[in-house]
C-alpha cells in the first residue's frame, strides 16, 4: 500500500504510474451488528419499558383510574433490570390509598421510604394510611387504637422535622441568589437612574457615552 508502480505500455511506449490506494472501510458482518443491537436492547429497553409503565400509571392516576395505575406500577416494578424509585412506590401507595386499601398503601409507602428515608410525600401517605386504618376500628377496640397511636406519633414528629429541614433548605437557597439574578438586579432601572454597568466592556462604553454627553453639553454652552 502507498507504493508507486511504473507500468510501461509496450504497444504505445508510454509509461503510466499506478498508485496503490488504501482499502475502503468495510462494514462489519451482519452477525456482529445483530449481536451489538441485542446487547443494546438488554441495556436500553428495560429502562424505556419502566418509564413507559410509570408514565402510564401516573396518567391513569391523574384521571382517577387507580386500579389501572396500580397494575401499571406493578408492571414497572416487575422489570428487575431497572432500579425502582421512591416516588413511584409512593405513587402506587397513593393509588391504593385512594381505593381505601390501607394495608397495601402502607406496604408501598414503606417500600418508598426504604429507598429514600427522607421522602416527605411517602411519610405523609404512611401517616394517612394509619389514620385510615384507625378510623375503621370500632370504639371498643381501644388496644389496637393505642398501638396505632404509638406508630403515628413518632412518624408525625419525623415528618415535622423533615418539613422544617426542607423549609430551611429552601430559605437558604433563596438567600444564595445566583450570579445571573444579581446581574439582572444591577441592570434594573430605578426611576430616572441609569442601570449600573456590571462588566468591564459595559463600564468602558458607559464612560464613553458619558464623555460624549458632556462634550455635547459643553459645545451647546459655547
Instruction: Return d(Cα 2, Cα 98) in angstroms, integer.
Output: 76
Q: Each residue of 66-96: pLDDT tens digit?
A: 999 999 999 999 998 889 999 999 999 999 9
Confidence of residue 192 (pLDDT cuts 50, 70, 90): very low
Q: Is a pLDDT exceeding 80 seen at residue 64?
A: yes
Domain boundaries, the chain: 36-84, 87-169
pLDDT at 81: 87
Please list, in sequence order, all residues whose beta carbon lies within 8 angstroms of the beta carbon of residue 53, skipping any fewer than 6 positions away.
72, 73, 75, 76, 79
* Cα diameter, the chain: 120
Nearest to 137 by CA among 128, 146, 127: 146
Residue that has been written with the C-alpha cell 408514565 in this structure = 55
* Architecture of domain 87-169 in this structure: Alpha Horseshoe (1.25)
pLDDT at 29: 59
pLDDT at 44: 62
Question: What are residue 29's phi and psi, to 5 degrees?
Answer: -60, 145
Q: Each residue of 123-166: pLDDT tens digit?
A: 999 999 999 999 999 999 999 999 999 999 999 999 999 999 99
Q: Is 8 helix (H, G, I), strand (E, B) or coil?
A: strand
Nearest to 113 by CA among 133, 151, 85, 72: 85
The contacts found for 108-111 with CB under 8 angstroms, 24 or more apart, are none
Query: What's the per-residue H, E or C state across 55-108?
Result: HHHHHHHHCCCHHHHHHHHHHHHCCCCCCCCHHHHHHHHHHHHHCCCHHHHHHH
Say which residue, 211 or 119, is predicted with more confidence: 119
Say which residue, 100 or 35, is predicted with more confidence: 100
Question: Cβ–Cβ contacts within 10 Å for residue 113, how many?
Answer: 20
pLDDT at 171: 79
Whole-structure pTM over 0.85, yes or no? no
- Overall average pLDDT of the 96-122 stretch: 97
pLDDT at 11: 53
pLDDT at 80: 86
Confidence of residue 6 (pLDDT cuts 50, 70, 90): low
Instruction: Return d(Cα 189, Cα 181) in angstroms, integer.
Output: 15
CA-angle at 26, arms to 20 and 29, nearest 5°: 150
Confidence of residue 25 (pLDDT cuts 50, 70, 90): very low
Residue that has been written with the C-alpha cell 389496637 in this structure = 144
Confidence of residue 19 (pLDDT cuts 50, 70, 90): very low
Question: Cβ–Cβ contacts within 10 Å for residue 125, how many?
Answer: 25
pLDDT at 43: 54
Amino acid at each position: 500500500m502507498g507504493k508507486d508502480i511504473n507500468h510501461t505500455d509496450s504497444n504505445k511506449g508510454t509509461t503510466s504510474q499506478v498508485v496503490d490506494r488504501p482499502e475502503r472501510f468495510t462494514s462489519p458482518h451482519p452477525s456482529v451488528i445483530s449481536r451489538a443491537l441485542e446487547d443494546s436492547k438488554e441495556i436500553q429497553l428495560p429502562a424505556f419499558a419502566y418509564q413507559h409503565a410509570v408514565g402510564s400509571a401516573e396518567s391513569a392516576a391523574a384521571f382517577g383510574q387507580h386500579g389501572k395505575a396500580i397494575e401499571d406500577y406493578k408492571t414497572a416494578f416487575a422489570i428487575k433490570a431497572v432500579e425502582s424509585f421512591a416516588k413511584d412506590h409512593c405513587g402506587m401507595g397513593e393509588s391504593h390509598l385512594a381505593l381505601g386499601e390501607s394495608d397495601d398503601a402502607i406496604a408501598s409507602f414503606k417500600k418508598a421510604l426504604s429507598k429514600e428515608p427522607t421522602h416527605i410525600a411517602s411519610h405523609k401517605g404512611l401517616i394517612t394510611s394509619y389514620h385510615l386504618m384507625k378510623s375503621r376500628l370500632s370504639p371498643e377496640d381501644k388496644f389496637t387504637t393505642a398501638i396505632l397511636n404509638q406508630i403515628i406519633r413518632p412518624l408525625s414528629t419525623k415528618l415535622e422535622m423533615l418539613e422544617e429541614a426542607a423549609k430551611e433548605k429552601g430559605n437558604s437557597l433563596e438567600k444564595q441568589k445566583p450570579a445571573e439574578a444579581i446581574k439582572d438586579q444591577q441592570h434594573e432601572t430605578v426611576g430616572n437612574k441609569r442601570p449600573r454597568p456590571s462588566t468591564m466592556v459595559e463600564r468602558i462604553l458607559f464612560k464613553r457615552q458619558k464623555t460624549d454627553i458632556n462634550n455635547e453639553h459643553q459645545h451647546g454652552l459655547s
